[in-house]
Amino acid sequence: MGAAAAEVVAPPRPTSAKRRSTTLKFLFELEKPDGVVPGTAKLPPPSPEPEADSLIDKIASCNRVFTFADDAADECEEERDAKRERLVEVLGAVRSSGSAGNKQQQPLDHRVMVALLKMVGANLFRAMPPSAYPALLPPDGVDEETPVMVLAPSWPHLQVVYDILLSVVTASDAKTLRHHVDRAFLSSLLALFRSEDPRERDRLKTVYHQLYSKLTCERAFMRRSMAAAFLRFVYEASTAERHCGAAELLEICGSIINGFAVPLKEEHRAFLARVLLPLHRTRWVHTYHRQLAYCVLQFVHKEPGLADAVVTDILRHWPVTNCQKEVLLIEELEEILEVLEPKHFQKLAVPICARIARCVSSYSSQVAERALYVWNNERFVELATASPGVMEKILPAFVASVESNLELHWSKCVQQVTASVKSLLQQVAPDLYARCADELATRRSEAEVAAAVRDARWRKLETAAAAAAAK
């Protein structure tokens, strides 16, 4: 029995590529799979609280506002420079927290966001100084081609604050912004567009547009707020008040309108009719006309049928004595004509061309030349000649203005441009031009005869009155 037991062969042990470790560390790891050695505690990650508290204290120290006035007794240049240095440090901290390339950085803490927006409000939201534009000066005494530019003395601080706000908006997601940016904050930002410093308005435009793109739930409120600002320009502001901020707000509106879906909502059509078109009526339209024309043209691009309402409103409020405004409106009408289809052009050709023809014979050389240059537009000439029956309707008014310019206009330059336009019209429609010229000559001769008869009657009445007085 013992020999048999000795002959029993033990089963072969499975071979492994690597011998299992029997060290003390391995045994500890079997008891603690998380790898923490018994008797020792796992160290927590470093707390961001001290760093956040330090940043909050630095932000709070920037709440003091400096006026940068020369007679400010409680301000000194060293304190101003120190605040700017702290603002720059805060800006660096905000940018590093929102850096997309550094994955170890965390989003801004809630307490930091509250402190930042409080500091931004303390520095930015302020009462605007009185306008530098002399309100009592008559319009004839102002050079309207050169806008008044007033630079804010506190811009060294404001510039960094705007950069901080833009970095906060860019680095934060929509949910975080909804919790910290309310409607009062948005309204206060919008009120800052009245600043006469173009640098501040440009930064505001960027920040406000970024907020509009992220705060989707507040977009309707922001559009209504901008519409209210435009209506104040038109109906409440005095004629001497410059519409600072209108151009920047219209740039934001142009980007918004570009994203409207087709067909347009009734709300969007109402914005065009009730807000944008009345902006053509103001005295300061030349300061924002480029942006306004772009917004209007976007609507016409999306729905060509709106061109009728646009052209009608522009013609209804055509200026009488503002030559600069006339030139701008002629340019806008020309841009609208370029995007019209032939069927829409046939409907609007007569009122538009009638107004342009009257501008051709304007005593202002700038207005007359700009109206004549409309015939250099290839698209306009194409629409006028290709549309059936249009030339017969619009050419008589142009022929009368052209012939009047060649005979009576005081400007030699206008006469030269008029001669070029006459040659073009005679090439495009020679028979029609000759017929219109003959009809014009006939009307002039009839008018001369009627004037002679009228003068004879007046002389007869004067003779009779003199005879009655002699008796």
197-207 pLDDT, tens digit per residue, is 999 999 999 99
Q: What is the pLDDT, as a whole number, of residue 70?
A: 72
165-168 contact pairs (CB < 8 A, 24+): 165/120, 165/124, 165/207, 166/203, 166/206, 166/207, 166/210, 167/91, 167/94, 167/95, 167/98, 168/94, 168/98, 168/108, 168/113, 168/116, 168/117, 168/120
Query: Is 140 buried (19+), middle (13-18) or exposed (0-12) by CB count in 10 A?
Result: exposed
Burial grade of 20 (CB within 10 A; 0-12, 13-18, 19 or more)? exposed
Angle (nearest 5°) at CA 205 between 199 and 207: 105
Q: How far apart are CA 271 and CA 251, in angstroms?
A: 15
- Alpha-carbon dihedral angle through residues 363, 367, 368, 374, given to the nearest 10 degrees: -160
- What's the one-letter identity of residue 343? K
Tell me what pLDDT residue 102 has: 52
> What CA–CA distance (Å, rounded) separates 249 from 211?
13
Q: What are the angstrom distances between the C-alpha of 52 and each of 96, 370, 374?
A: 13, 62, 64
Return the amino acid letter for 305.
G
In angstroms, rounded to a whole number, what is the distance separating the alpha carbons of residues 423 and 419?
6
Residue 403 and residue 439 in contact, taking contact as beta carbons nearer than 8 Å? no
Q: What is the rounded CA–CA span in Å between residue 425 and residue 375? A: 9
CB 396 within 8 A of CB 436: yes
Question: Rounded distance, CA 94 to CA 116, Å?
Answer: 9
Residues of the chain scoring pLDDT < 50:
1-9, 16, 35, 37, 40-41, 43-47, 136-142, 145-147
What is residue 140's predicted lDDT score, i.e. its pLDDT? 42
Give the predicted TM-score (pTM) of the model.
0.82
Report DSSP letters for 263-313, one per residue.
SPPHHHHHHIIIIIGGGGGSTTGGGTHHHHHHHHHHHHHH-GGGHHHHHHH
Q: Which two structure tokens, joined as six digits, stand for 217?
A: 């739930």
**Is 116:108 a contact under the CB 8 Å cutoff?**
yes
402, 425 in Cβ contact below 8 A?
Answer: yes
Q: In this predicted model, what pLDDT tens digit does every residue of 80-129 receive, in sequence order?
A: 999 999 999 999 999 987 665 555 556 788 999 999 999 999 999 998 88
Structure letter (DSSP) for residue 130: P
- Look at the block and give the residue holding tokens 């303390």: 122
**b (16+ CB within 10 A) / e for 336-347:** bbeebeeebbbe
Rg of the chain, C-alpha, whole Å = 38
Q: Are 356 and 371 in contact (CB under 8 A)?
A: yes
How far from chain centre, in Å, is Cα 261?
Answer: 19
Give the Cβ contact number of residue 360 at 10 Å: 27
In this structure, are residues 361 and 409 in contact, taking their beta carbons and an 8 Å threshold?
yes
3-state secondary structure at position 255? helix
